[in-house]
């Protein structure tokens, strides 16, 4: 007969380990459901946001496409005596007119002699002192633009001239 085990004996290693608790199936399904709901909510928000942006883009009026600039050179260059009283001085200037309107471009070509005449008279009134600084040249550009528009308007032609450019300006 075997001897009874001593109550003081240490338990065997196998006996001291309890099985690890397993995650329940409910917790796994709960985790899957949370991930699916989060993904669905994110996808739904993304779809709603994309549709809202598309609707907003449709409602915005498209920016009007600006017509391309058209230039008309008044050739040959203008050469005039300046209005200086103390000496004989000259102004030589190359002028280009800018528009975006085809009818105005055609009117500029048709009325070029009248435009040249008015600009010659305007340029002849200037002094070398007034053209010495940038401000004076810019003021002359504005006056020239007003003269060009006045000629075209007086001829009942399209007058959508946007700018007068001096591509060369020499005083002597």
**β-pairing verdict for 90-99 and 161-171:** antiparallel
Place of tokens 């609707």: 55
Q: What pLDDT is attached to residue 108?
A: 95
User: Cis link prior to 68 (omega < 30° from 0)?
Assistant: no
Most confident listed range (8-12, 43-47, 125-129): 125-129
What's phi and psi for 64, nearest 5 deg?
Answer: -65, 140
Q: What pLDDT is attached to residue 148?
A: 96
**Distance, CA of 161 to CA of 148 (rounded, Å):** 8
CA diameter of the chain? 148
Q: What is the pTM of this model?
A: 0.63
Average per-residue pLDDT for the chain: 87
């Amino acid at each position: 007969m075997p001897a009874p085990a001593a109550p003081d004996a240490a338990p065997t290693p196998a006996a001291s380990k309890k099985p690890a608790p397993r995650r329940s199936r409910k917790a796994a399904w709960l985790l899957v459901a949370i991930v699916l709901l989060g993904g669905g909510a994110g996808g739904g928000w993304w779809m709603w946001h994309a549709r809202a942006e598309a609707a907003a883009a449709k409602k915005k009026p498209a920016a009007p496409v600006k017509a391309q600039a058209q230039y008309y050179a008044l050739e040959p260059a203008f050469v005039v005596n300046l209005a200086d009283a103390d000496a004989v001085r000259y102004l030589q200037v190359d002028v280009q007119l800018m528009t975006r309107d085809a009818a105005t471009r055609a009117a500029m070509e048709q009325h070029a002699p009248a435009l040249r005449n008015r600009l010659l008279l305007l340029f002849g009134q200037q002094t070398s002192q007034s053209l010495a600084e940038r401000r004076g040249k810019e003021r002359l550009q504005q006056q020239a633009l007003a003269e060009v528009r006045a000629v075209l308007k007086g001829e009942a032609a399209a007058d959508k001239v946007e700018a007068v450019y001096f591509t060369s300006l020499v005083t002597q």
